[in-house]
A and B are shown apart, each in its own frame.
Chain A
Amino acid sequence: MRAVFLAAACVCILCVAAICLFLLVNGLPAFGKIGPLKFLSGSVWRPGSGAYGIAPMILGSLYVTAGAIALGAPLGVLTGVYLARFCPRRARAAGRAAVNLLAGVPSVVYGFFGLVVLVPAASAVFGGSGKSMLTASVLLGLMILPTVISVTETSVRAVPEACYEGALALGATHERAVFFAVLPAARPGVTAGIALGVGRAIGEATAVVMVAGNQPVIPSGPLRGLRTLTANIVLEMGYAADLHRGALAATAVTLFVFTLAVNVLLALGRGKRPA
């Protein structure tokens, strides 16, 4: 039996190793040929004329992720706290079911929702095509909600009741006890939830492609279209060849490094919680 578990574990590890290996084998040569600095900081992406700068896409990914967190994290944390400590028991079950449903909706469905609801709405309010950094941020903000909500709820409920009672015993109101005693105690978990949201937002491709406009230029404002690292790969991989293909693989390497960084930060944050 032990051997079965071992084999299963080995297969998993091998898969991860294989992914890393093929990513690097395919992507690293392009780094060399284009020049790492030129590749990462170049602001022009025009594969037809040999210009492979992915700075617009790096910034695009960072912008929409930051936007998604700015919108989704407060909303998600407040909702999670509400489910854990404010809502009536029966409503809690319904709320949780809704959150789980939201978590199971495929990206392409979110993208479709963005395309038929958010894009026209943005166009009506702000003018233009409606496909923009703002629209993509709102959509990604929605997509990370289930993660942030459920992780927040779980961590808030895991805080010992003594913390809450201690605050009440000092004459604090329910609201103050929850937000200023219980929530700080749940902070490591809440932070982890937000970090998971960052991971999801930066790695999302399908939905973003449908609402971001995808122009490979550094966006000059939140109402401009942009292209993320993921979108760059999805849009062009189908027909790219030679150095173009290599540059896309190198884009994937860059994305991989970003997600890795998120994970490392998450692990570090977990390591030094106040204890």
Chain B
Amino acid sequence: MGKIDIENLNLYYGEFHALRGVSLSAPERGITALIGPSGCGKSSLLKTVNRLNDLSEGCRVEGRVLLDGEDVYGGGMDIYTLRRRVGMVFQKPNPFPMSIYDNVAFGPRSHGVRARSVLDGIVEESLRRAVIWDEVKDRLAGSALRLSGGQQQRLCIARALAVRPETLLMDEPTSALDPISTAKIEELASELKKAYTIIIVTHNMQQAARVSDRTAFFLLGEVVELGDTSRIFTAPRDKRTEDYITGRFG
């Protein structure tokens, strides 16, 4: 059993069958990479884990998504608690138009933390973990929108860490960034996996190979192949996986 277990998941947007019988397990303190061409359902899968899909009109989910063995779609789990436990980093950095400090404090404040001294501690700790503290410690009151794209993305990671999640969902977190910023985020992901369970969606094969422990290859809403990253990239069992990772299509 992993930290996150997805069992026979089917997802529909109205009539459209976007995920077909997906089963996947993300091991604790490891990075699981989701790869596959655009539109194959990777983002949809991430959004079922923190139930952000609830926002999409006509979206229907069958099957089970388990966090520590508990079904997130079962009645027992409070959606706000779920989202606190499962952080998300988006494709395009989306800092709020407010100060760096307020960005990081947003989550804790949403969960009732008010004391300034406690918030100060959380903000510093989160920014340190996201390896951006040194760059912003002198301008915490400055607008987050004035940071560079790479800094904004690390700020968004810090913001997600501030609610002390157990897992992180990263949806192509570097696709809008330059190579140096990308390298920093990858390094950060490798560091964070010591404490968090991470699922990362990426279009970049090298990135999947570099940072992940497990890889799942998706095609048209189905998991074609799932396994240890080193094995998938050296000895793919499915012809379609081989074609994709060698760049013959996608």
Contacts and interface: CB of A to CB of B under 8 A. Distances in A.
A49 interface: no
A172 B110 contact: yes
A166 B90 contact: yes
Contact of A162 (B92, B146, B162): B92
Contacts of B84: 170-171
Contacts of A169: 50, 52, 83, 87-88, 90, 160
A170 B55 contact: no
Nearest to B162: A170
B52 A163 contact: no
Given A171-B111, A173-B110, A275-B145, A184 B98 contact: yes
Given A166-B96, A184-B97, A274-B143, A171 B81 contact: yes
B159 interface: yes
B148 interface: no
A44 interface: no
B163 interface: yes
Contacts of B159: 166, 170
B107 A172 contact: yes
A185 interface: yes
A218 B111 CA distance: 50
B249 interface: no
A243 to B, nearest CB: 53
Nearest to A166: B94
Nearest to A177: B110
A274 B145 contact: yes
A201 to B, nearest CB: 28
Sorting the interface of chain A by its residue count into under 10, 10 to 19, 20 to 34 or 35 or more gives 20 to 34
A180 interface: yes
B156 to A, nearest CB: 7
A170 to B, nearest CB: 4
Q: How many B residues touch the partner, as a band?
A: 20 to 34
A176 B106 CA distance: 10
Nearest to B81: A171
B97 A167 contact: no
A168 B55 contact: yes
A36 interface: no
A160 B95 CA distance: 11
A165 B90 contact: yes
Interface string A129-151: 00000000000000000000000
Interface string A177-218: 000110011010000000000000000000000000000000
Contacts of A180: 106, 109
Interface in B15-50: 50
Contact of B55 (A165, A171, A172, A275): A165
Nearest to B144: A274
Most chain A CB inside 10 Å of its own CB: which residue of B83, B97, B156, B162: B97
Given A165-B52, A165-B55, A275-B145, A171 B96 contact: no
A114 B80 CA distance: 47
User: Which of A165, A170, A181: most chain B Cβ within 10 A?
Assistant: A170
B124 to A, nearest CB: 18
Contacts of A185: 96-97
Contacts of B163: 170-171
B90 A171 contact: no
Interface string B145-178: 1100000000010011011000000000000000
Given A176-B110, A180-B106, A181-B106, A170 B94 contact: no
Contacts of A166: 90, 94, 96, 156, 159
Contacts of A274: 97, 143, 145-146
A185 B106 CA distance: 14
A224 B247 CA distance: 80
Nearest to B142: A274
Given A166-B156, A274-B143, A274-B145, A172 B106 contact: yes
A155 to B, nearest CB: 12
A181 B143 CA distance: 14
- Among B82, B84, B106, B143, the one with the most A-chain Cβ atoms within 10 Å of its Cβ is B106
15 contacts: A163-B94, A166-B90, A167-B106, A168-B83, A169-B83, A171-B82, A171-B83, A173-B80, A173-B110, A180-B109, A181-B96, A184-B96, A274-B97, A274-B143, A275-B146
Given A169-B88, A173-B80, 19 more contacts: A160-B94, A163-B94, A163-B97, A166-B156, A166-B159, A167-B96, A168-B55, A170-B84, A170-B87, A171-B81, A171-B82, A171-B110, A171-B111, A172-B107, A176-B110, A180-B106, A181-B106, A184-B98, A187-B97
Interface of A: 160, 162-163, 165-173, 176, 180-181, 184-185, 187, 274-275
